[in-house]
Every structure is written in structure tokens, then in C-alpha cells.
Amino acid sequence: MGFLAIADEVAEGETHALDLAVLRALRVEGRPQTLVGPDWLHVAAVDVTALGSVAVLSLIILLAFALLASLRRWGEGVLLLAGAVGGVSISQGLKLVFGRERPDMAYRAVEAVNASFPSGHAMLSAVVFLTLGVLTARFADRRRVKVLAISAAVLLSLLVGASRVYLGVHWASDVLAGWCVGGAWAMACWLLAYLVRRRLKPPSALDAT
């Protein structure tokens, strides 16, 4: 619902003024190519934004799948792969539908390709990190470990999305929409996996749980 609301506003151009104000607030006044903040923050933002790239997320997914496969947790491995592949497909499809232009080149601190809405980095990082967080929480016995896993996943997703706006390659509404649709897709995958697991589990096992 959040994504649909944002998409409707973006399609009507209602978010442009706020998006531009946010972008300008992150630049030195009168110098759109100069980021606010110290140099170390600029470098850190570039490092953080790379965590949401297809290359880095693909490596994380492959390593996580290999670990799950070695533990013979095929269901969790398939869930991770399906969520990631589906997320990429949804992201690219939505970009083609909306075809929104990215911020002007003067604001961009890094290179970026394809359309702007929704943010693929924000969406895919939400899908992958939240799924990994939930899987880690399932394996953990202690409550504080579960909380830490989920909190870390949310924090990473937020940092990746925020870095996209800070570096000027996305409008704020792009990132908000990416978080919304990424979270929704991740939850849909979890729900489907839960329903399949309950359907395949013997009645005696269900009674025991």
C-alpha cells in the first residue's frame, strides 16, 4: 500500500518539489556537485551503497546458499534464491513501467544506469538482508540473537537506501518506494514458504509444534 501511494504521487509529479529539496539539502549551497559532510563520509557512503549492488548481493546470496546447502537446508536456500531473482525481475519491470529520470548529473557522486523509480539498491538490499536476517533468527536459540539479526538486516537496508539519496543517484521517493516493495516482496516469500512448509509437514509434526 505504501508503494502504491508513493507511485501515484510520483506519477502525478507531486513528489518532485520535496525530492529536490532533500537533494539540495545534502549539497553545499550553490555547488550541487559538492556533498555536505566530511570527506570520510563521502567515502563511507560509496562503500555502503556498494552493499546494495547486484554484484555484491549476488556474491552474498551464493555464499549464503552454499552454506545452507552444506547444512542440507534446501528449503531456506531456495527461498533465498527465489526471493532475490523475483526481486530483480520486479525491480526491472517497475523501472520499465515508470521510466523515471534520475537526478541531474550535477548531483551525482557515482555512476548509475537505467531508470530511477523504484530504487533497485533499496529494494534488493531489503529483500536479501531481511531474508537473511529472518533465516538467522530462525536458526538462533536466544532471543537477543534473533533481535540482533533482524535489527542488523533493517539497519543495512536503511543505510544502503539512504546512501543512494546522499550520493545523488536517486530521489528520496525512489528509495522509499524501493523499501516498501522490497519489504512487501520479502514478506510474500516468507508467507509462501511458511504455507508450503505447513502443507508438507505431517499432521503429527504440526500437532507437536
Query: What are the residue boundaries of the structural domains of the chain, listed by start?
Result: 2-200
Contacts 24+ apart (CB under 8 A), 76-80: 76/135, 76/138, 79/131, 79/135, 79/189, 79/190, 79/193, 80/128, 80/131, 80/132, 80/135
Q: Which residue has the cell 522509499?
A: 176
Assign residue 179 a region: left if phi > 0, alpha if psi is -120 to 50, beta otherwise? alpha
Each residue's pLDDT, cut to its tens digit, for the chain (209 residues) gives: 888 999 889 888 888 999 999 999 999 888 888 899 899 999 999 999 999 998 999 999 999 999 988 988 888 888 888 888 998 999 999 999 988 899 988 888 888 888 889 999 999 999 999 988 888 888 888 889 889 999 999 999 999 999 999 999 999 999 999 999 999 998 888 888 777 777 766 555 445 44
Confirm if 185 and 125 have CB atoms less than 8 A apart.
Answer: no
End-to-end CA distance of the chain: 33
The DSSP secondary-structure symbol of 26 reads T
**Cα 22 from Cα 88, distance rounded (Å):** 27
Confirm if 157 and 124 have CB atoms less than 8 A apart.
Answer: no
